[in-house]
Amino acid sequence: MQNHPKFTMWVLYSTSCLLDAFDGYAARKLDQSTTFGAVLDMVTDRCSTCSLIVFLTRLYPNWFILWQMLISLDLASHYLHMYATITSGSKSHKSMKKDTNILLKLYYENRIVLFLVCALNELFYMALYLDYYKFRALPLVGISFPRFLIYVSAPIWFFNRIP
């Protein structure tokens, strides 16, 4: 990761994220969704995001406590949501009751919103990673492309921490 930041993020990590999105879509379309598959998908998603956050602790050691808290929040919130869904007898962790928080309902029930929020959340971490390597500034905006991506994705990343 340290020696090949562009290849690591633009090819490996982004391809992994896109294949993850396609995998879920294909499972639903082919009616091959299972509880085990949903749990496995969530666990592998958390592992990849946490691995990237752990590497960010190396790049930005002054923010170590924040990175630890984000990993804990990410793991705990996803675990609790999945556990509550499974124990309530729901067929999917993306099925919300009528009295559910409107933001949480929008997030899980609108596939476009879910995809965009998840994509921009991952993009935020990817951009932080790439920003460390000091890319050249873009001509019109005077900041690097990774820094631009941080500014674009940060509001959605923050929104994703609220519900």
Each residue's pLDDT, cut to its tens digit, for the chain (163 residues) gives: 888 888 888 889 889 888 888 888 888 889 888 888 888 888 888 899 999 999 999 999 999 999 999 999 989 988 888 888 778 777 666 666 677 677 777 777 788 888 898 899 999 999 999 999 988 998 888 999 999 999 999 999 988 776 5
Residue 23 annotated as catalytic? no
Computed over every residue of the chain, the mean pLDDT equals 86
Range of the domain at 106: 5-161
pLDDT given at position 96: 65
- Which own/partner pairs from 12-19 qualify as long-range (CB within 8 Å, at least 24 positions apart)? 13/48, 13/52, 13/122, 13/126, 14/126, 16/48, 17/48, 17/119, 17/122
Active-site option among 20, 23, 41, 45: 45
How many separate domains does the chain show? Answer: 1
List all residues 6 or more positions away from 117 whose beta carbon is below 8 Å from its beta carbon. Answer: 107, 156, 159, 160
Query: Model pTM?
Result: 0.84
Beta bridge partners of 144: 137
